[in-house]
Chains A and B, each alone.
Chain A
Amino acid sequence: MSEATFKNPAINTAKYPETSIKFRHFLSFMFKLLSILGLFLGLIVLLVLIGDLIRRGGDRLSLDFFLNFPSRRAEKAGILSAWVGTLWVMLITAVMTVIVGVSAAIYLEEYAPKNRFTRLIELNILNLAAMPSILYGLLALGLFVHQMKLGSSLLTAGMTLSLLVLPVVIVASREALRALPFTLKEASYALGATQFQTLVYHQVPAAISGMMTGVILALSRAVGETAPLITIGALTYIAFLPKSLLDSFTVLPIQLFNWLSRPQEEFHANAAAAGLVLLFLTFLLNAVAIFIRIKARKNIKW
């Protein structure tokens, strides 16, 4: 055999002379330090940002702030119409996403044949998940507002946001269904149940916690969405509460955006307070989702 066979190209003695082992470990230690420092730097920056929100807006949080309509005078302005609007839109979004998202997940997981078209749907869902939210706003503007003549109403907003978060719910619900053991289905079929009965009485109840996690995470994303709602023409100044699904509305993020785009310092304090409320809502929804996930993992042992 020739000399070359024994030469391992991976061991470059010029690059890693043996005398430099200390140096290599020093480099390694520095990298470790840097990566952990980076992690804490990132966390600290985000904490400082949230701290600024509290410093500027904390004082504005009072009962009046929640019970007042927006106003020309910053100290009298409140978020009544905004949080009521957010609640309505979330309700519509939740109902529509649960119905459509869970059904789509059931089809893809239990009924869909393994063919090209199914693969296309799956690819399409992945693609939708990474689509900028403002494009959903344009779809809603063209389809719901102008073609279906629904106007910039609560219903339009709810439908737009449910389309936006649909991929999240579908993916989570599919995973929840897939995690169930096959024996559950077999036992039900053995007792003479049909596929639909098996789904309704056994599979969906067993997978409900995973599905709920997905729905709540989806809502936590929907609650902060601003761009698609601005595109469909949600008004920024609303001094009444919506009475029907076709009334115009405002939501927290839009109210925040409106106050933020004014030059006066006092309105920025309002924006910070509204931001705190919004942040609290997002964190709350996330915490509930994590709680359900942990709880479900502890309870069920297949």
Chain B
Amino acid sequence: MSAQKDSRPVIKAVSVRKSTKRPRNIVERLFEFWFALCAFLSVFITAGIIIILLAESWPFFQQVSLKEFLTSRDWSPLFSNPSFGIQPLLLGTLLSTLIACGIAVPMGILIACGLSEFMSANIRQYLKPIIEILAGIPSVIFGYFALLVVTPAIQSIFPSLPGFSLLAAGVTMSFMILPLIVSLSEDALQSVPQTVREASYALGATPLETVWRVVLPSASSGVIAACILGVSRAIGETMVVALAAGQQPNWTLNPAEPAATMTAFMVQVALGDLPHGSLGYQTVFVVGLTLLLMTLVFNYLALKVRNKMRPV
């Protein structure tokens, strides 16, 4: 009986502690609410981007048919006789991305293999931070390289190359995404357990056979995810193409010609001063929407591949 009496105040104290009226519990709730709000902000950003792009593109598609947008081979929205075909910009983006990845993906995987498999941990420990720092060089500086170093360098081999070209922009972008691909692929290769390599060597495989037939396949999802991220960065890259690829939309498959990409067009329009609400102003958002759709597809692919990655 006495025990029951003694336990009462304890129970009461617990209930007071949990009371929502107690100041410290109010603070507790308030901060939880604030933290949650900040986390939800990231969803609002995505939603915001999609809503803004759709809202500003909507009036554009009232005036221009989707058919013209997708099939016309001419993009000249700012002329007096405007034409709205996304193809030249899309082609410019795809071509420069193709060149960048054509160089950076094989080089990146090769270097990542060398770094992960054939270098001592001691050297790697110093090289890894250097590569990570190189991955952080601002893209406008690569724009400088593209315009003033890479273009003259290619011109000294092919004198017919014009001052602006997709080729120079693509080659420079490959230097830009190389450190990213190397760094992420190396992480994937390092996560392959040592026992897998030892088993391969025990069966008499040479280092090349071990890397090519055992380690790379085990790390394939991580390596592929790294490459897709590189591609998606090349698609969205702006400053290099705005500076070195030229600003004239051009339906061409020849990388040695100047041509505008989607991002270069957006920069060009943003630098001029078009009035808010005009058709030319809306084209920026339409091109942005196209870019968003492309990146979403690539991000989704990267995610799918990464989800397949499981510990060996």
Q: Which A residues lie at the B interface, using CB under 8 A?
A: 24-25, 27-28, 31-32, 34-36, 38-39, 42-43, 45-46, 48-49, 52-53, 56, 99-101, 103-104, 106-108, 110-112, 120-121, 123-128, 130-139, 141-143, 146, 163, 166-167, 170, 194-196, 217, 220-221, 223-227, 230-231, 233, 236, 253, 256-257, 260-261, 268, 271-272, 275, 278-279, 282-283, 286-287, 290
Contact yes or no, A225 B138, CB < 8 A: yes
Count chain B residues whose beta carbon lies closer than 8 angstroms to a beta carbon of A. 87
Contact yes or no, B111 A226, CB < 8 A: no
Contact yes or no, B303 A227, CB < 8 A: no
Question: Separation in Å of the A201 CB from the closest CB of chain B?
Answer: 13
Contact yes or no, A24 B209, CB < 8 A: yes
Question: Separation in Å of the B133 CB from the closest CB of chain A?
Answer: 5
A-B pairs under 8 A by CB, number: 249
User: Given known contacts A111-B36, A226-B238, what 7 new A-B pairs fall within 8 Å (CB)?
Assistant: A24-B209, A28-B209, A48-B149, A52-B149, A99-B38, A166-B42, A230-B270
Residue on B nearest A147 in the bound complex, by CB: B52
In this assembly, does B266 line the interface, its C-beta being within 8 Å of a C-beta of chain A? yes
- Report B23-47 CB contacts with A as 1/0, cut-off 8 Å: 0110110011011111111110110
- Report B75-119 CB contacts with A as 1/0, cut-off 8 Å: 000000000000000000000000000000001001101110111
Question: Separation in Å of the A171 CB from the closest CB of chain B?
Answer: 11
Report how far A271 CA is from B147 CA in the complex, Å: 12
Residue on A nearest B273 in the bound complex, by CB: A233
Check A103/B114 contact, CB under 8 A, given A253-B138, A283-B133: no
Residue on A nearest B30 in the bound complex, by CB: A196
Contact yes or no, A134 B139, CB < 8 A: no
Contact yes or no, B52 A28, CB < 8 A: no
Residue on A nearest B114 in the bound complex, by CB: A35
Question: Separation in Å of the B252 CB from the closest CB of chain A?
Answer: 23
Contact yes or no, A126 B303, CB < 8 A: yes
Report how far A138 CA is from B48 CA in the complex, Å: 10
Question: Separation in Å of the B203 CB from the closest CB of chain A?
Answer: 9
At the interface, is chain B mostly helix, strand, loop or mixed?
helix
Residue on B nearest A49 in the bound complex, by CB: B145
Residue on B nearest A45 in the bound complex, by CB: B175
Report how far A142 CA is from B302 CA in the complex, Å: 29
Question: Separation in Å of the A137 CB from the closest CB of chain B?
Answer: 8
In this assembly, does B196 line the interface, its C-beta being within 8 Å of a C-beta of chain A? no
Contact yes or no, A268 B45, CB < 8 A: no
In this assembly, does B53 line the interface, its C-beta being within 8 Å of a C-beta of chain A? yes
Contact yes or no, B140 A125, CB < 8 A: no
Contact yes or no, A233 B270, CB < 8 A: yes
Report how far A143 CA is from B296 CA in the complex, Å: 21
Question: Separation in Å of the B297 CB from the closest CB of chain A?
Answer: 12
In the bound complex, residues from chain A placing their C-beta under 8 Å from that of B16 are none
A-contacting residues, B270-301, CB 8 Å: 270-271, 276, 284-285, 288, 291-292, 295-296, 298-299
Partner of A52, one of B52, B127, B148, B270: B148
Question: Separation in Å of the A16 CB from the closest CB of chain B?
Answer: 9
- Report B156-179 CB contacts with A as 1/0, cut-off 8 Å: 000000000000000000010011
Question: Separation in Å of the A162 CB from the closest CB of chain B?
Answer: 10
Question: Separation in Å of the A268 CB from the closest CB of chain B?
Answer: 6
Report how far A223 CA is from B141 CA in the complex, Å: 12
Contact yes or no, B49 A131, CB < 8 A: yes
Partner of B140, one of A106, A236, A256: A256
Partner of A224, one of B39, B49, B140: B140
Partner of A135, one of B32, B143, B144, B288: B288
Report how far A278 CA is from B211 CA in the complex, Å: 39
Contact yes or no, B206 A231, CB < 8 A: no
Contact yes or no, B111 A139, CB < 8 A: no
In the bound complex, residues from chain A placing their C-beta under 8 Å from that of B46 are 124, 127-128
Q: Top 6 closest A-B pairs, CB basis?
A: A224-B138, A132-B236, A35-B114, A142-B52, A28-B208, A107-B35
Contact yes or no, B36 A107, CB < 8 A: yes
